[in-house]
Amino acid sequence: ATEKTFAIVKPDAVEKNHIGAILALIEKNGLKIRALRMMHMSRPIAEGFYHVHKARPFFGELVEFMTRGPCVVMVLEGENAIAKWRELMGATDPAKAAEGTVRKLYGANVGENATHGSDGPDTAKFEIGWFFPGYDV
Ligand code: CMP
């Protein structure tokens, strides 16, 4: 079914001028960009967004990274958009990501991995609402 997901071009990919290439991959793969904004996350915004990872040992590092520069936040839509965007991104660790995936192409390591994508319908709903309040999911 047609569904929406939430995506981020993370600070590392923005720093390396990969915004355009990543958006092109998204569009080439048939996903529609329904909302898009460039922003520099504050600490509370990043912490709230990643609240499910609060107890993880890498939480501090993750928030530090996500707040170090601007990123691009987006709502994507399409057939099975959640799974499709995750497939297109590849594995969380770029070293384990398949050839041609965003993280293989543009990610550096498990922390600096170029992009984010929602892992399910409930997370997509929360994440879209976190960055696009009032957006009709
Ligand atoms: P993301 O999909 O944005 O969701 C949680 C993020 O935590 C994940 O991508 C990774 O970038 C990050 N992450 C996961 N494992 C580690 C780790 N071992 N060290 C640092 N960051 C991590």
pLDDT tens column, 119-129:
999 999 999 99
Please write the tens of the pLDDT for every residue from 66-119.
999 999 999 999 999 999 999 999 999 999 999 999 999 999 999 999 999 999
- CB-based contact 133:27 (threshold 8 Å): no
Q: Would you give the distance in Å from CA 129 to the centre of its chain?
A: 14
Q: Where are the domains of the chain?
A: 2-39+71-131
Indicate whether residue 92 lines ligand 1 (CB < 6 A): yes
Going by CA atoms, what residue is nearest to atom 2 of ligand 1?
116
User: What ipTM, to 2 d.p.?
Assistant: 0.93
| Environment class of 21 (CB within 10 Å of its CB; exposed 0-12, middle 13-18, buried 19+) | middle
Indicate whether residue 62 lines ligand 1 (CB < 6 A): yes
Q: What pLDDT is attached to residue 1? A: 87
Say whether domain 2-39+71-131 belongs to CATH 3.30.70.141. yes
Residues marked as catalytic:
116
